[in-house]
Amino acid sequence: MTTQVGDRYLSEVERTDRELYELIKAEEQYQVDTVRLIPSENYTSRAVMEATGSALANKYSEGYPGKRYYEGQRNVDRIETLVQERATALFGAEHANVQPYSGSPANFAVYYALLEPGDTIMGLALPHGGHLTHGWNVSATGRFWNSVRYEVDPKTHLIDYDRVREIALAERPRIIVAGATAYPRQYDFAAFGAIAKEAGAYFLADISHISGLIVSGVHPDPTPYADAVMTTTHKTLRGPRGAMILCKQEHAEAIDKAVFPALQGGPHENTIAGIGIALKEAATPEFRAYGRQIVANAKALAGELRERGFDLITGGTDNHLILIDLTGKQVIGKKAAKALDRAGIVGNYNTIPFDPRKPFSPSGLRIGTPSVTTRGMKEDAMRQIGRWMDDAIAHVDDGDALDRIAAEVRDFCRGYPAPGIHVV
């Protein structure tokens, strides 16, 4: 609903809460004017935004379709069932739970369903690119379950599958987790599945970062090998912030009970509807072309950075993500990230494997190409971004130079509209 004032219209947010409205508009402008390279961010379509802001935000729907604890669920049941069907069809899974609020509780739900307290989780170590919820000690997953870690190779920074097998057979974990938040190469899910089977372990594939690449056919698919697959629904999948658990039918009941009632109450049906739209979009040839372009863009950006003397972990990328060691540039990651942000290029400082610096001030920078690809940028644009990054890092203490780059970035971004955002 809008209200006319003179020759323009006020949104209901503006009419109701001017202070919050101005902050939202400032964020919209920021997302339009900057090159967003955080690998876990993207732009949703306007359709996804409308679904998440629809009347479904009013619903409370504890339970599952046909088995709710509230009346008035006739439409919600059909929506959630439809989204489950789209998820299983897109990923080739036997069962889908689309209720998890985000990736962290979704991983917790898988552990709750398949493990007993004190069982062993085996995942990639956090400083080597793994995620907190893969058993790291500051996460609840490292408190309720025993944790053992595998690491990347000290020289190549690649996962050493022989070493993973060796650790698995020695430690006999109850579950092995594949997936990461800062690993720029493909995963051999078949190898993980074989190792888990030999060790008598379940296999969980956390594909939160790469699910859009998997459905696009540019990354191997873990579904044939994994007992459970977890993915967030934003990142490369380009939906709202939520999560899904895909699993074999034999685990469906345990996982559903772990999500509700064990860990969550009523699902966010407005988010589920947005996920449904994103899944429909992801089933199109256009989305598959988008996934291929994400990888092509990442490779082009990595190549430009290498030519300019940047040290890339593993030497490059196979996916959407680039991890940079800034030691050779004599700039710490946090300082570089802040300088780039001022220059209109948004990434995040990040640890690198075997980083001698502390996590809050690490040596690395993590960037990725999902958002810029959504805006229609291609390889030539990536090379220009690489040139700006080099310029900004070379002038990390020069505010005037960074402001100059930011102005150039703003002009550049006008040629690439941000989907779903209307800025005058």
Q: What is the pTM of this model?
A: 0.95
| pLDDT-derived band at 420, boundaries 50, 70, 90 | confident
Of the chain, the percentage scoring pLDDT greater than 90 comes to 94
Catalytic residue chosen out of the listed positions 14, 62, 94, 398: 62
Of the chain, the percentage scoring pLDDT greater than 70 comes to 97
342 catalytic? Reply is no
Catalytic residue chosen out of the listed positions 149, 235, 366, 375: 235
Catalytic residue chosen out of the listed positions 80, 151, 206, 281: 206
Catalytic residue chosen out of the listed positions 14, 15, 28, 60: 60
**Is the model's pLDDT at 8 over the cut of 50?**
no
The H or E element spanning position 344 is: none
The CATH class given to the 285-413 domain equals alpha beta
Catalytic residue chosen out of the listed positions 34, 52, 88, 232: 232
Can you give the pLDDT at residue 10? 62
Can you give the pLDDT at residue 3? 54
Can you give the pLDDT at residue 295? 98
CATH topology of domain 51-282: Aspartate Aminotransferase; domain 2 (3.40.640)
Residue by residue, what is the 3-state secondary structure of 221-285?
Answer: CCCCCCCEEEEECCHHHCCCCCEEEEECHHHHHHHHHHHHHHHCCCCCHHHHHHHHHHHHHHCCH
- Domain spans in the chain, listed from the N-terminal domain onward: 51-282, 285-413
User: DSSP letter string over 33-48?
Assistant: HSEE--TT-----HHH
227 catalytic? Reply is no
162 catalytic? Reply is no
235 catalytic? Reply is yes
8 catalytic? Reply is no
What are the pLDDT digits (tens) for 119-170?
Answer: 999 999 999 999 999 998 889 998 899 999 999 999 999 999 999 999 999 9
Report how far residue 377's alpha carbon sits from residue 62's, in angstroms, rounded to the nearest whole number: 42
What are the pLDDT digits (tens) for 297-337?
Answer: 999 999 999 999 999 999 999 999 999 999 999 999 999 99
60 catalytic? Reply is yes
What are the pLDDT digits (tens) for 204-220?
Answer: 999 999 999 999 999 99
| pLDDT-derived band at 382, boundaries 50, 70, 90 | very high
**Is the model's pLDDT at 67 over the cut of 90?**
yes
Catalytic residue chosen out of the listed positions 241, 329, 366, 375: 241
